[in-house]
Amino acid sequence: MSARHDDLTVPPEIILPCLDEAEALPTVLAALPAGWPVLVVDNGSTDGTGEVAAAAGARVVVEPRRGYGAAVHTGLVTATAEIVVVLDGDGSLDPAVLPAMTDDVRDGRADLAVARRVPSAAGVWPWHARAGNAVIAAMLRRRGVAVHDIAPVRVARRAALIDLGIADRAFGYPLELLLRAGAAGWRITEHPVAYRARAGGRSKVSGSVAGSLRAARDMAGLLR
């Protein structure tokens, strides 16, 4: 018998897009809800990310084309669970929020559950990253998508996410997802998630003004 939509015994699958996260991954994987399957998308890492993930019991798929969106998309089409979680592989987002987000989707309160970052210490969210984010979120709200962050964590039904037809394969991916979900009339719930320093390794985006600008450029194209 196949699993029912509301079968509470079937956990969602956690997709972790990872570019050079070998240092952070052991901590990240150990903190995830017990028994939930994990799919690490190794986005062309050169630091042994895939080996570390496999040794810790995760399933690994390699996506050589760089880009956050490319990694997430490959995760979606490779995963098998009905409901999926997309979370960063750097340990910056507290996975304690995942069960409540998943319940929203499983119980039918939401088509998409997202998280909004709440910094847990001064300095974890640099001003340039935070400012760009606030502008984007305000634009989304003006378009009727009631969010306060660009959905750094997401839970939804896998098939529905694929059907949204998101085309961006870089850092515009989460924003395009929200725009398309809003246009499709999806019900969205938003949960606070503790945002902290990455569990190891090096920041590639918000740790520098250049990284923030690159992310802003990917997103700005979608809002024109």
Ligand X SMILES: Nc1nc2c(ncn2[C@@H]2O[C@H](COP(=O)(O)OP(=O)(O)OP(=O)(O)O)[C@@H](O)[C@H]2O)c(=O)[nH]1
Sketch the per residue contact string, 21 through 40, with ligand X: x for CB under 6 A, - otherwise.
x-------------------
Number of residues lying near ligand X (CB under 6 A): 19
Among 78, 135, 203, 222, the residue binding ligand X under the rule CB under 6 A is: 203
| Contact status, residue 24 vs residue 200, Cβ threshold 8 Å | yes
> Shortest gap between Cβ of 65 and Mg ion (angstroms)?
20
Q: Note whether 180 binds ligand X by CB under 6 A.
A: no
- Which amino acid, 71? A
Round the CA-based radius of gyration of the chain to a whole number and report it.
16
> Shortest gap between Cβ of 207 and ligand X (angstroms)?
4
Report angle CA 62, 65, 67 to the nearest 5 degrees. 105
- C-alpha distances (whole Å) from 156 to each of 6, 84, 210 are 13, 6, 31
Using alpha carbons, select from 202, 153, 194, 204 the residue that is nearest to residue 23: 202
Query: At 193, phi and psi to the nearest 5?
Result: -130, 135
- Which amino acid, 148? H
Q: Note whether 42 binds ligand X by CB under 6 A.
A: no
Q: Note whether 88 binds ligand X by CB under 6 A.
A: yes
> Shortest gap between Cβ of 37 and ligand X (angstroms)?
18
Between 25 and 112, name the residue whose CB sits nearer to ligand X.
Answer: 25
Q: Note whether 219 binds ligand X by CB under 6 A.
A: no
Interface residues with ligand X (CB under 6 A) are 17-19, 21, 43, 66-68, 71, 88-90, 92, 198, 203-207
